[in-house]
Amino acid sequence: MNKLTRRLCLMAVPLALAGVAASPSLAQQLSLGQVSTYLNSFTSAEGEFTQINADGTISTGTIYIKRPGRVRFEYNPPEESLVVSGGGQVAIFDPRSDSGPDRYPLNQTPLSIILERNIDLTRTDMVTGHTSDGTTTTVTAQDPAHPEYGNIRMVFTSEPVELRQWIVTDDTGQQTTVILGDLAKDGRVPDILFNINREMRLWGN
């Protein structure tokens, strides 16, 4: 699962939160109900992201989200990779591969938690951590039925509530982080963006 985690995650926590930390005001800790309500308040979103890889290289791109179960990471040049989740699968397209995309079941990745149709962080044994540093609220969640798949640690700001980053710990214990720009919510995000079979044809797989 290391390759999946490497492509899904960003390693720029200080960059993302620099502006937030500069604010002199303190924010109240968001409740699990507030966080769930926020995540369920939109079904689609689009925004920019920046990725700092483990080897120090930097990628940028656009993320598209469409719940339930769909996400797409498009990387800007010179990065040519693509990550698409749809139909219960996650596919990683790498131009250097001659054997088609690597594919994984979405429900075996912590990312599936925030792509559910109805996100309920109050479920028993789902949340393993819930803290605030006075500026952000951090919620760590896992699949209660399969904690061995890893967890996702989400960081939110308030007023208004926004998801700013998530940190994925995969089934091998490797941690990676996704940093989000401002998300444009509930705009037009075509279903075709999440069609893995179509992408395979376009990539000649």
Could you tell me which residue, 78 or 156, shows the higher pLDDT?
Answer: 156
Beta carbons of 166 and 146 less than 8 angstroms apart: no
**CB < 8 Å & 24+ apart, contacts of 122-131:** 122/32, 122/33, 122/36, 127/32, 129/153, 130/29, 130/32, 131/29
Please state the rounded mean pLDDT for residues 155-161. Answer: 92
CATH number of the structural domain spanning residue 179: 2.50.20.10
| Residue 98, φ and ψ in degrees, nearest 5 | -100, 5
Q: Are 165 and 19 in contact (CB under 8 A)?
A: no
- 195: which 2 tokens? 């069609």
Closest CA relative to residue 119, chosen from 154, 91, 147, 92? 154
Instruction: Tell how strand 162-169 and strand 151-157 pair up.
Output: antiparallel
Interacting residues of 182 by C-beta distance below 8 A, sequence separation 6+: 47, 48, 162
pLDDT at 171: 87
Q: Is the pTM of this model over 0.75?
A: yes
Residue 136 has pLDDT above 90, yes or no: yes
Residue 23 has pLDDT above 90, yes or no: no
Which range of residues forms the domain containing residue 78?
2-18+26-202
Q: What is the pLDDT of residue 6?
A: 52
Pairing of strands 137-142, 151-157: antiparallel
Q: How confident is the model at residue 102 (pLDDT cuts 50, 70, 90)?
A: very high
> What is the β-pairing status of strands 44-52 and 184-185?
antiparallel
The number of domains in the chain is 1
